Structures are given as structure tokens and as C-alpha cells.
Amino acid sequence: MYDLIVRAGQLLTLEGPKGPRTGEYASHLGILENGAVAIEDGGIAEVGKASEIGSAARNIIEWKGLVMPGFVDPHTHAVFSGSREDELKMKIEGRTYLEILQTGGGILRTVRATRKADFQQLLRETKMRADTMLLYGTTTAEMKSGYGLDLETEMKMLDVISEIGRTHPIDTVPTFLGAHALPPEFSDRDEYIDFLIGDVMPEAKGKARFADIFCEKGVFDAEQSRRYLSAAKKYGMIPKIHADEIENLGGVRVGAELGAISAEHLVRTSDEEIELMAEKGMIADLLPGTPHMLLSDHYAPARKFIERGVPVALATDLNPNCWTESMQMVINLASLRMRMSPEEAIVASTINAAYSIGMGDEIGSLEPGKKADLTLLSVPNHMHIPYHFGVNLVDTVIKDGKVVVRDGQISV
Ligand code: NIG
Ligand code: FE
């Protein structure tokens, strides 16, 4: 007798070969009309046609609409204090993101607020965002440090990420992003990188699964990225890199050289670098919310990545410059602004997103042996996700086999 059976009008299993999805599998949803998922001990026991799975369960949810894996958000800066709504007005008036950063706004302003907030305050603010993510169907999220830029606050951020993972239905994956900006205490970028390597990484070791750096003009260059990520590897952290968000400084090559699992943003990535990523099997984490909120018309060339066989993942980039918890919104932008098909965008938001945070064997598809993380949407089929935009289509969320959202409300 199963704990729970979920029956669906349309079930997206995302079944397929092991490994990040490319080629024909970049758009393969494994659709079952009138499908069902049987759940036992928080995991998926069986998946198939509802008629084959029967009704031997303590509980049955009969859902006429769409059932799919919980969204995986593989790139967020969800831990921060305060907000920067007035900067949107500056951007509308024509000031650029880097100009705002250079005059002490942007990331540095959030650093000041995040340093001031004590652990409980930061936890409260992050929990509100984790709640919203869950309500919008996200069941696992990567979260980065990077608004501390000193030992104490970077550790406070990593501890908040771990506490959310322990106490909130959402699973969190921690990334150390000490190299997010140059803090006011330093005037030399190389000295700051030395400080991160010598003083902060030994403490981040064991708390963070990944290390990330903002490789960007006026922030950190390719050589600094190489030094930082090589050191992080020695501390057991897997490299990731923010590359080509605004300008191309060669971050993809550094990532490829060091075996980075993914490179992120990739708005200005060259054809040669796209080939290199395909060769290395590096995942392209594309974040279309960011150009949207930078008032830019330049989006990552998603079609090129897909056509050349680079696995594509999507993420919110949730941060005070691009504040959305909604993977549904990201799918809308990916389809409309990067011309990803609804199917490609869903693969990129589930199974490929899971692989880009090293969790493709546990989550991201509805296959026996994986965690029972499911999202139930009030739509008849998957094409409604990019189509019916700006509202929350999620009704029910199941995490580790338990109903955690019901009727659009958190139920735990
Ligand atoms: O990925 N680009 C660097 N970091 C974030 C923005 C952080 C911020 O503006 O607070 C990003 O876009
Ligand atoms: Fe980011």
C-alpha cells in the first residue's frame, strides 16, 4: 500500500537518459496523459498510466490539470537584507547597473544592509522569499553568499542557507560567492582575492558545495577568477562562474579550464566559447530575468547553446536587482525573449537545473527512486506556463512526499 498516489490529467515525467539533457532530449517532457505517480517514504515508487498503478494507497490526489516535477532554481542570491526599489527608477532614467555599483549602490548597498542584519533578521527575510518560491512551485534552490564580503557576514549567510534547508520545506544548496564585489575595506582587488583565499575559504569549506565569482568588467577579471576558483577547488568546492553578463572577459574559458559545472548569465558569450562549453559538457545557466530588470534587449543566445548541444538550465537569479521568486516568470521570459520552446524551457527548469547543481540523480524528474517533489498546476497542459503569465498557476506542491502547499497556501 503506497502512502500517496497523485493522478494527473497531464503528467510530465521528464524521464530520459542519465546526465544533462541535450539534442532531442532538450525538449523531451515524457508526457503521460492520465498518468499517475505512486509515492512511498518520501520517494517515487512507481510512475505510469493511472489505470496501471491502480488505487492501493492511503491517500489519492485526483488532479485534472498538469503535474510535473517541482521547479529547481539553480542560481539565486536569495539571502539579503533590505531592497533597492529606487534603483529601478534610476535605471529607467538611464543610469547603468555598473554606474550604480561604482557609486556605492547596487551590491555594495545590499552588503551594508546585510552586514547590519543579525542572523535572525536575515533568516526571517530569507524565509519570506523561500515561502514565495515554494508557493510558486520551486522545491529546491541554490543560494549564494556574497553580500557579506567579510568573514563574519559570509559565514552568517552560509548559516542562513543551511538553516533554511534544515527548517523549510525547500531544499537549499549553498554556494560561496565571496568574490561578488570589492568591499570598501579594500582598494586592491588582488589583495581582496588573497584575503578570501587565505582567511575566508578555510571557513567556507564544508559549508558550501560550490564556489562562484562575478567575472565582470570593473569587478573581477579572468586571472583573479582563475586564482580564486583554483583555490576553492583545493577546499573541496566545485567551481561555477558568473560570466559575460554585461561584458565578455573570458570567464567561460576559465570555467572550462577548471572543470566548472556551469557558467551563468552568458549574454555576451562568443561562438567559440559556446563550442568549448559543448565539448566540456558545461551547463549554461541562463537568467533572463536579469536583462529584463537591467532594461536591456540583450538576452543570452539560448538557441545557439541548444543547437550546439550545450545543456541549458534556467534560473531566477533572485537578488535585489532582479527580485523574482517565480520560475514561471522565468519560463515566460525564456520563451518570449530567448525563443526557447515551452518544452525546452521546462527541461531547463527541472532536470537540467538539477544537474547544474549536482542533483540530477535525486530530483528534476518523476522517475522511480527520486525524491517525490511534485508541482500541481491549474492548467490543462504545459504550454500554458509561458502563455498565461504574471499570475501563479501553482495550486499544490508536494515535497518529499508531503503536501506542503494546497489551494495556493502553505499547508505546513
Ligand atoms: O547575478 N551579477 C552579479 N550578481 C547578481 C546581482 C547582484 C545584485 O545586484 O545585488 C547577478 O545579477
Ligand atoms: Fe547571479
Ligand 1 atom showing the smallest separation from residue 317 Cα: 1
Using a 6 Å cutoff on CB, does residue 172 contact ligand 1? Answer: no
CA of 189: how far to CAs of 69, 149, 227, 311, in Å? 42, 12, 12, 33
In this prediction, residue 248 carries a pLDDT of 98
Kindly report, residue by residue over 224-249, the tens digit of the pLDDT.
Answer: 999 999 999 999 999 999 999 999 99
Nearest protein Cα to ligand 1, atom 3: 214
Using a 6 Å cutoff on CB, does residue 110 contact ligand 1? Answer: yes
Using a 6 Å cutoff on CB, does residue 212 contact ligand 1? Answer: no
β-strands 210-215, 238-243 pairing: parallel
Whether 357 shows a pLDDT value over 90: the answer reads: yes
Greatest Cα-to-Cα distance within the chain, rounded to the nearest angstrom: 67
379's grid cell: 492548467
Kindly report, residue by residue over 173-230, the tens digit of the pLDDT.
Answer: 999 999 999 999 999 999 999 999 999 999 999 999 999 999 999 999 999 999 999 9
| C-alpha of residue 388 to centroid of ligand 2, in Å | 26
| C-alpha of residue 264 to centroid of ligand 2, in Å | 7
- Cα end-to-end distance, the chain, whole Å: 24
